[in-house]
Amino acid sequence: MSRLYMARNPRVAARSLDGEMMIMSGRDSTLFTLNKTATILWQSADGTTPLDEIVKIRICPEFEVEPAEALQDAETLARELASHEILQISEEPIPQPVAGAPR
Amino acid sequence: MPELTTEVERLSVVIEIGDMPVRVNTSDHSFLGILQDRYSGFLTEVEDNAGRPEIEFDVEIIAPFAVPDANVRVTQHLGHWSLEAGDFHAEWNPARHSGRIRQTANPYSIDAVLRIVHTLVLARQGGFLLHSASAVRNGKAFLFAGVSGAGKTTISRLAPSDATLLTDEISYVRRSELGKHDAGYTAFGTPFTGELAKLGENVSAPIAALYLLAQGPENRIEPIAPAEAARALLANVLFFAEDEELVQSIFHSAFEFVSRVPVSRLTFVPDARVWELIGS
């Protein structure tokens, strides 16, 4: 089974306030408020940690759900976030720009 | 040899809103009169040698044409801005401090251009234009935000004589300079009017509060969670440009604002007693 990797889209702006993660698309100014699971995905989207590991380490303990069911839901959510261009997803690790390097 | 050129008289006014002077040049006497009427109270004298306005527009008056129902479009390419709507076309190059507007002789098109240009300048400085009424009372500015029908015009109309109206429709919010107004935010009067059709006073004051308006059976003020405040603020910020960097700036500015300025919900009965709760 292929693994899914996620990275944050650098073209959105994000802020967390009182535990609520808000994201604004720079492209069309749409504002999104992420739910708890989506916030975990956003925070964990480092381009190198596969989704199944994120589910195992962060989502299952938080919500006390079965890993297989949680992975299926998380994948659906990750694809939805990608459709809004909040996350980038790939079946390969996604290289991240080095801080300070020219983009 | 016949004359190959004709000298065109250049008429000019400087419109200063939010401490930002914009020179508008025209060769049309009647349009100059329109500008002088429309921006009365916001016209200033700026001598070229003593500080040129940062922004200067030449307005070309064109013949009336059928206005297509076109939305405002604000785009940037290599530092050159293009502002388009059904009733005007404008270009502005901030690096050259100059731009050009093509429109018919009416006050509404230039008003739209000025609003857009101010939003672009403010976005880089941590400020914004907000869909809200605002007024100064006892040296402090109070903002009243809400969609059409929420009560901006009503609360402006109910303002007591010791309150100075800054605008009944679009508030001008600028980050205060360091050391001034406690590095918070300052509201400026604007000529951008709503239903009340009354120009704001050309004064400024530090912002003490932002109220989200709702009409109800009694007057009350309730605190709002910061996240809800940020969402409400963003929903009321005026911004037109298709520019990722500036959209991100506006987003972060909204969060800075709610971290420094108290935001509450103001439910009010539409009579003058509501002002007993505000800045008295």
Q: Which CATH number fits domain B128-277: 3.30.750, 3.30.420, 1.20.1630, 3.40.50?
A: 3.40.50
Of the candidates B227, B234, B235, the beta carbon closest to that of A20 is on B227
Show the domains of chain A with their CATH numbers.
Answer: 5-89 (3.90.930.60)
**Residue A103 pLDDT level (bands cut at 50, 70, 90):** very low
As a whole number of angstroms, the distance between CA B15 and CA B12 comes to: 10
Q: How far is A65 from chain B (nearest CA, A)?
A: 28
Q: Where are the domains of chain B?
A: 11-124, 128-277
CB contact under 8 A, A17 and B245: no
In this complex, the residue of B227, B234, B252 whose CB is nearest that of residue A18 is B227
pLDDT in tens, A23-65: 998 888 899 999 999 999 999 999 999 999 999 999 999 998 9
With CA atoms as reference, the chain A residue closest to B245 would be: A26
Over residues B206-242, the pLDDT tens digits come to 999 999 999 999 999 999 999 999 999 999 999 999 9
> Residue written as tokens 């098109």?
B109
Q: Where in chain B does DSSP place strands (E)?
A: 11-17, 20-26, 43-44, 55-61, 73-77, 80-85, 88-93, 98-103, 128-137, 140-145, 163-167, 170-175, 185-188, 204-215, 220-223, 237-238, 263-268
Q: Return the minimum-mean-pLDDT range out of B55-69, B123-137, B257-271.
A: B55-69
Q: Please judge whether A15 and B255 are an interchain contact, meaning their C-beta atoms are less than 8 angstroms apart.
A: yes
Q: Which of residues 217-256 of B touch A (CB under 8 A)?
A: 225-227, 230-231, 234-235, 239, 244-245, 247-248, 251-252, 255
**Cβ B15 vs Cβ B21: under 8 Å:** yes
Residue from B128, B240, B246, B248 whose CB has the most chain A CBs within 10 Å, to mutate = B248
- DSSP 3-state of B253: helix
Select from B72, B231, B251, B257 the residue whose CB has the most chain A CBs within 10 Å, as the one to mutate to test that interface: B251
- Any chain A CB within 8 A of the CB of B69? no
Which residue does chain A place closest to B238, by CA atoms?
A: A29
Round the average pLDDT of chain A to a whole number and report it.
91
State the average pLDDT for chain B: 91
